[in-house]
Amino acid sequence: MTICMVANPKGGVGKSTISTNIAGYFAWQGKKVALGDLDPQQSSKLWLSLRPPGASPIVGWDYDEEAPKESLGGFKHAVLDTPAGFDEKRLKKALKFVDKVIIPIQPSVFDIFATQHFINLLLEMKQSKSLDVGIIGMRVDERTISAAKLAEFLATLPFTHIGNLRNTQYYVHLVAHGMSIFDMTPSKVAKDLEQWEAIGDWLKT
C-alpha cells in the first residue's frame, strides 16, 4: 500500500501539480489509484473532472477525515492533496493514515522560511510514527543561485531530497486538460520523465 500526502502550509508551491502527477505516475504504472482533495479550491478534483476518457484511469477519493481507510475502500495506491494553512489537528489525523509525505518547495528565501515551521512540526510528529518524508524542489533552474541556496537548505534536513522539477509550461498546459506528464508522448517530455525517475523510485520503496 502506498498512500501519499502532498503538503506544505504555504500556498502556490505546486501541491496540486505534484498530487496530480503522482496520481498520473501510479496510473501509468498500471496501478489502481485514487486522488483526494482537501483544498477548498478543489484544483485536483477539477483536474480529475477534465481528464480525457482515454487516459489511464484515476478515481476520485471522497476523503473522510474521521474514517480515511473506510473512505478509500479497496484502493492500495492513493494521493491526498492538502490545502495551504493545513492546521495541526487535521495534519495529525492524516499522518496516522498516510505512509508517505511529499513536501513541494520552490527555490526562494520566502518559501524556505515559510516551510521551516512545517518541517519542524513533521520532525516532532515523526518521532512517534514510522513516516517517510520526501522533498521535491519545484520550478528549479539548476544554474541559478536560488537553486544552490535551496540545495544548501535541504542538505541540513533529515528528510530525503527526492529531486527537482524544472520550470516548464508543460505542467501548466497539461493541467488544463486533466493530464499528467505521463500522458504525454515520452519523446516530448524526455527531460521531465528523467527527473521523475528518482521520484518514482522513492515512491516504490
Q: Render each residue's pLDDT in the chain as its tens digit; 205 residues.
A: 899 999 998 888 999 999 999 999 999 999 999 999 999 989 999 999 999 999 999 999 999 989 998 999 989 999 999 999 888 888 888 988 898 999 999 998 888 888 888 888 888 876 555 678 999 999 999 999 999 999 999 999 889 999 999 999 999 999 999 999 999 999 999 999 999 999 999 999 8
Instruction: Round to whole Å and give the CA distance between 80 and 6.
Output: 6
* Boundaries of every domain in the chain: 2-198
- 171: which residues sit within 8 A by CB, 6+ positions away? 17, 21, 165, 181
**Whole-model pTM over 0.85:** yes
CA dihedral sign of residues 86, 87, 92, 93: negative
Give the three cell numbers for residue 73.
Answer: 475502500
> Counting beta carbons within 10 angstroms of the beta carbon of residue 55, is it exposed (0 to 12), middle (13 to 18) or buried (19 or more)?
middle
CB 15 within 8 A of CB 23: no
- Say which CATH architecture domain 2-198 belongs to: 3-Layer(aba) Sandwich (3.40)
What pLDDT is recorded for position 120? 85
Residue at 17: amino acid letter = T
In terms of DSSP bridges, do strands 59-61 and 77-81 run parallel, antiparallel, or are they unpaired?
unpaired
* pLDDT value for 107: 93
Question: So what's the pLDDT on residue 98?
Answer: 92
Residue type, 147: A
pLDDT of residue 165: 96
- Strand pairing partners for 78? 3, 34
**Predicted pLDDT of residue 126:** 64
Query: What is the CA angle 166-168-173, rounded to 5?
Result: 140
